[in-house]
Every structure is written in C-alpha cells, then in structure tokens.
Amino acid sequence: MDIDKRIDEMLPMLTAFRRELHEYPDLSGEEQPTCARLAEMLGRNGIEYKLMLDGTAAAASVGSAGNGKTVALRADTDALPLTEETGLPFASKKSGVMHACGHDIHTAAALGAAILLKEMEPELTGMVKIFFQPAEEGTGGAERMIAAGCLDAPHVSHVLGLHVNPAIAAGRAAFKFGKMHAASDEFTLILHGRGCHGAHPEEGCDAVAMAGQFITAIQNIASRGISPLDSAVVTVGKIEGGTKGNIIAGRVEMTGIMRSLSEETRLLLRRRLKETADGVAGLFGGRAELILRPSYGALINDDTVTKTVAAAARAAIGAENVIIKTEPTMGTEDFAYFAAARPSCFYELGCGFSDRETNFPLHSARFEADERCIRTGVKLQIRGALALLTNN
Ligand SMILES: [Zn+2]
Ligand SMILES: [Zn+2]
C-alpha cells in the first residue's frame, strides 16, 4: 500500500474531525462525548475497540498478536479550562474550554493511524493498540489506563506518543534521547508559630519570620544539594499568613512545586524540603506541617526505541526535518507512566506556521496549529509503529 497517498486521501476527513473536536472540547475527566465520537469513527471503519474508565478512555486494536509482538500508539484527548481567543471559524463553542494544548491534533492523528493500519491489517506482523487517553492535564489518565490493564493481554512491548510543538514548523519532528520531561511534586507547608502583640515578639513565635528563613533556605536545595550538571526547581508560588501589621503571625501557609529529571533527584528534593522545614521551624520553636502531593514522574525515553523511531521518521519525512534535541524540559507529561512501564518513545511534532512571525505557545488562548502537521503525525505514528513491530 502507498501509505503517503492514502494519508493524503484521508486528510480532509481527519482535518474535519480535528475541527469538530476543537469546536466541542472536553475537560479532563469529562471526555465521554469525545470518546463517543471516536467510538463511532472506529466502529465505522471496522476497528475493534473498548471503552475504559467510565467511557472517558478508549483502546482500539488492529492486527493480531499471534503474528508477532504488540506495540501501542497513545493520544491524549482532553482540553483546558480556557476561553479561546483565536477567532477561528472552528473555534471552541464551549465557553471556558479550549483545545489549547493541541490534544485534538493528537487524537485526529491517532485516529488516522488506526484507520490506515486497519487497511494494512493483512500485512501487519503483530498488533497495534491505539490508546485514546483522558486527563493528561493534571490528574494522570495514563496511570489509570495502565492500572486498568491497557498494556496487558496482549502484552504491549513499546508505546509511542507525540506532542505538538508550535515552536517547530509543521512538517518537522523533534526527538530526545533519555530524559525528556521532569517529575513534579506539589507541596503545601504550614508553619505553626504562636501569635502575640507585634511590640512583644519574645512572647510569641513568629511564623512570618520562619517563612522568610524557610524561603531563603530552600534556594540552597537546588544550588548546593544537587550536582550543577543535574537540574531541579523548587518554587514557592503562593504564601498567606498573618492578620495585621501589629500582630505576630501564628500561622503561615505556602504552596509550591518541585521539578526534577530523575527519581533519585526527586527523592532528594523531597527529603531536603522536609529537613529544611523541620530545621527552620525548630530554630524558632515552632512546628512545620508538610503535605506532599506527588504528581507525574520524569519522562525518560528508551534510547534503543528512540533510535528506531527517529530512523523511521528520517525515512518518512527526510533527515532534514528530524531534529535531535539535546536539552530536556522542566515541564511535565503523563506519558511518563507509559515510558516507565515499557521501553518507549515520546517525541514532538512541529505544528508551527513557518510563515508567521508569532506562533502562540501551548496553553495560550490564542494557540493555533498549522493543520498540515496532522499529515506528518499520522505518517510518523504509522512508520514508527511498523518499525517497532519489526525491530527492538
Ligand atoms: Zn498541556
Ligand atoms: Zn498537552
């Protein structure tokens, strides 16, 4: 089969489907309408699928595991709580909800890959599962799909995922070996002191002074606690405490995040944060109450799988359009759970307009994607899946 020709034939349908998703986006955990539309399209094309996680997720499959191994393609389907400001004719019809992270593109490309792989089924040496995953934006739909068994029966060997990037022109793609996205932990710290008159600080325990020392002290966690060649972020983004200028504050509460690029550094950040909080509170005779909320783990690509998929990409879109990134990002991505469970590859699909001076970033109310990237996305997902079925 001439894959490129078939993708070109399918492109108007896939673009229309993407625009439909864009007009009717669903927030994380509320993806039932998107999944119902996907189910209809999969069913119409004779593709087997099952709905999961209360109808917010779908897992399709083509081919037969009896013929070889099984690999998976993953698309996230959720949108963001934002009111769109693009003015596009197919802009979101749901006020306060927008596909500002391009997950509509991911979903349309994965559907295209599923339809084409179904047409290629007699030639497939193995099985390809296609995951339509909910709730990437915050609550970790990937982890729940894995817990629900999407990587088992039959056993999935590798997972391949992509994310659009408006800083890269449509038609191009970027790969990163090893560490790609950071791990994230959120925290709330409550510093308990003892309130009293502001003129007599010796009678109380000043939680505001404690907070000041704590915020200064945590700057040393990244700068002194980890290697200058590793990366970490410790941020306090919100702080509240005290009631009046002439009252010593008895309580300060702050929230923040910590980012790291390995499990080892992640554990170190957690430990040092707790030690610093307890140490500073102890100095003042107060008490620290630390609540840690672990978020996504670090996304680490498998080098062998990435090599295979990047080689397939070079063959599909030309070596001049394949970028190898050298720096990871401190942003997070819940594909990390797939990459932790199986040797996997996550890569970036350029969606920027090469003729525009400004391409608005992801999560902007003015984010737009050059839809020509759908063609590249379908091509790379199919070529990548076929390469993984025969290699590694
Ligand atoms: Zn996002
Ligand atoms: Zn995203």
With vertex at residue 216, the alpha carbon angle to CA 215 and CA 221, rounded to the nearest 5 degrees, is 90
Give the number of the ligand closest to the Cα of residue 82: 1
Amino acid, res. 33: P
CATH of the domain spanning 183-294: 3.30.70.360
Calculate how far, in angstroms, residue 351's C-alpha sits from the geometric centre of ligand 2. Answer: 13
* Residue 301 zone, left/alpha/beta (φ > 0; ψ -120 to 50; rest): beta
- E strands within the chain? 48-52, 57-63, 69-76, 126-133, 156-169, 173-176, 179-181, 183-192, 196-197, 232-241, 247-248, 251-260, 287-294, 299-300, 322-325, 345-352
Calculate how far, in angstroms, residue 119's C-alpha sits from the geometric centre of ligand 2. Answer: 29
pLDDT score at 338: 98
Interatomic CA distance for residues 326 and 60, integer angstroms: 34
**pLDDT tens per residue across all 392 residues of the chain:** 899 999 999 999 999 999 999 999 999 999 999 999 999 999 999 999 999 999 999 999 999 998 799 999 999 999 999 999 999 999 999 999 999 999 999 999 999 999 999 999 999 999 999 999 999 998 899 999 999 999 999 999 999 999 999 999 999 999 999 999 999 999 999 999 999 999 999 999 999 999 999 999 999 999 999 999 999 999 999 999 999 999 999 999 999 999 999 999 999 999 999 999 999 999 999 999 999 999 999 999 999 999 999 999 999 999 999 999 999 999 999 999 999 999 999 999 999 999 999 999 999 999 999 999 999 999 999 999 999 999 85
Q: What are phi and psi of 199, to 5 degrees?
A: -85, -10
CATH of the domain spanning 3-181+298-390: 3.40.630.10
pLDDT score at 138: 80
Calculate how far, in angstroms, residue 163's C-alpha sits from the geometric centre of ligand 2. Answer: 6
Residue 101 is labelled as binding a ligand: yes
Calculate how far, in angstroms, residue 147's C-alpha sits from the geometric centre of ligand 2. Answer: 21
pLDDT score at 392: 59
Domain ranges of the chain: 3-181+298-390, 183-294
Q: Are 99 and 88 in contact (CB under 8 A)?
A: no
Calculate how far, in angstroms, residue 197's C-alpha sits from the geometric centre of ligand 2. Answer: 50
Interatomic CA distance for residues 186 and 295, integer angstroms: 7
Interatomic CA distance for residues 2 and 192, integer angstroms: 68
Six token digits for residue 166: 């408006």
Calculate how far, in angstroms, residue 387's C-alpha sits from the geometric centre of ligand 2. Answer: 25
Six token digits for residue 30: 């509320």
Per DSSP, the residues of 37-69 read HHHHHHHHTT-EEEEEGGGTEEEEEEE-GGGSE
Give the number of the ligand closest to the Cα of residue 106: 2
Calculate how far, in angstroms, residue 284's C-alpha sits from the geometric centre of ligand 2. Answer: 43
Residue 132, strand partner residues: 58, 75
Residue 363 is labelled as binding a ligand: yes
Give the number of the ligand closest to the Cα of residue 165: 2
Calculate how far, in angstroms, residue 20's C-alpha sits from the geometric centre of ligand 2. Answer: 18
Interatomic CA distance for residues 76 and 25, integer angstroms: 12
Residue 351 is labelled as binding a ligand: no
Calculate how far, in angstroms, residue 173's C-alpha sits from the geometric centre of ligand 2. Answer: 16
